[in-house]
């Protein structure tokens, strides 16, 4: 083989190696991108599983609170009823009745006091 032919062959191999280097470099960048996407995807899957577990736990807690509220509903109604009885939440009619009865009570006390004082003044010792 001649020298010129050998130089041409070496130059061709050199160009082929440069092209191969570029392709390997491009593939390396693409592989790094794929790996970073895979890491992000794995983290996203972990986050989704964590969110699902948190959601499941929240629903379980909410269900427990709901059951507790339902079981105590009658107790709460009883407390409200007793509170109304203790505080004496008046209806309009009972309010008027209490006012009239207080007025009559005061009048009767005044009359009784007047009668007793009249008896005391007219009593002969």
Does the pTM surpass 0.75? The reply is no
Distance (Å, whole) CA 12 – CA 8 = 6
What pLDDT was estimated at residue 86? 67
Domain boundaries, the chain: 3-89, 91-125
Q: pLDDT tens-digit profile of 73-89?
A: 888 888 877 776 666 66
Distance (Å, whole) CA 61 – CA 59 = 5
Provide the phi-psi class of 124: left if phi over 0, else alpha when psi is between -120 and 50, else beta: beta
Q: pLDDT tens-digit profile of 89-113?
A: 666 777 788 889 999 999 999 999 9
Predicted confidence band of residue 4 (pLDDT cuts 50, 70, 90): confident
pLDDT over threshold 80, residue 53: yes
What pLDDT was estimated at residue 114? 93
């Amino acid at each position: 083989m001649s020298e010129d032919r050998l130089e041409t062959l070496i130059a061709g191999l050199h160009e082929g190696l440069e092209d191969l280097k570029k392709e390997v470099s491009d593939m390396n960048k693409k592989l790094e991108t794929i790996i970073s996407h895979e890491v992000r995807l794995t983290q996203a899957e972990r986050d989704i599983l964590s969110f699902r577990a948190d959601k499941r736990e929240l629903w379980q807690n909410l269900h427990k609170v709901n059951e507790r509220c339902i079981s105590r509903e009658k107790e709460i109604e009883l407390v409200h009823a007793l509170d109304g009885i203790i505080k004496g939440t008046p209806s309009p009619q009972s309010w008027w009745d209490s006012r009239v009865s207080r007025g009559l009570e005061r009048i009767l006390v005044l009359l009784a006091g007047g009668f007793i004082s009249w008896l005391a003044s007219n009593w002969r010792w």
